[in-house]
């Protein structure tokens, strides 16, 4: 148990947050659309939000459904690539700082 706590202490918080967000989208799936939203413009009653559908797009993409992902929001693929790159960058940077001490 102690080694697990030590392991999580070495992972940057930002990397854990982005990974958890992607994991939640992978588990929750794209089928919750219309039932739950955290979109502030939608909650305020606006009809259009440029980001709406992005989470659904990522969820489809994580299931391997590229066509549905693109239909939900064309920026889903770039979003996953950017987040994956950011997570990798944080982990590499952390790894280098651990090994340099």
Confirm whether 10 is domain-assigned: no
DSSP 47: S
Question: Is 29 in contact with 65 (CB distance < 8 Å)?
Answer: no
pLDDT for the residue 32: 62
- pLDDT for res 56: 87
Classify 40 as helix, strand or coil.
helix
Q: In the chain, what percentage of residues exceed pLDDT 90?
A: 45
Asked if residue 96 belongs to a domain, the reply is yes
Counting as low any pLDDT under 70, the low residues of the chain are 1-8, 32-36, 99, 101
The confidence score (pLDDT) of residue 65 equals: 93
Range of the domain at 62: 15-100
| Count of the separate structural domains present in the chain | 1
Q: What is the pLDDT of residue 89?
A: 94
Q: Is residue 89 part of a domain?
A: yes
Give the number of other CB atoms < 10 A from CB of residue 66: 13
């Amino acid at each position: 148990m102690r080694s697990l706590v030590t392991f999580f202490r070495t992972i940057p918080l930002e990397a854990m947050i982005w990974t958890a967000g992607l994991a939640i989208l992978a588990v929750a799936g794209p089928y919750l659309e219309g039932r739950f939203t955290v979109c502030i413009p939608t909650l305020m009653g606006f009809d259009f939000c440029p980001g709406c559908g992005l989470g659904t797009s990522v969820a489809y993409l994580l299931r391997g459904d590229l066509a549905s992902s693109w239909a939900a929001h064309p920026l889903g693929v770039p979003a996953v690539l950017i987040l994956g790159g950011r997570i990798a960058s944080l982990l590499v940077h952390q790894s280098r700082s651990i090994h340099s001490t």
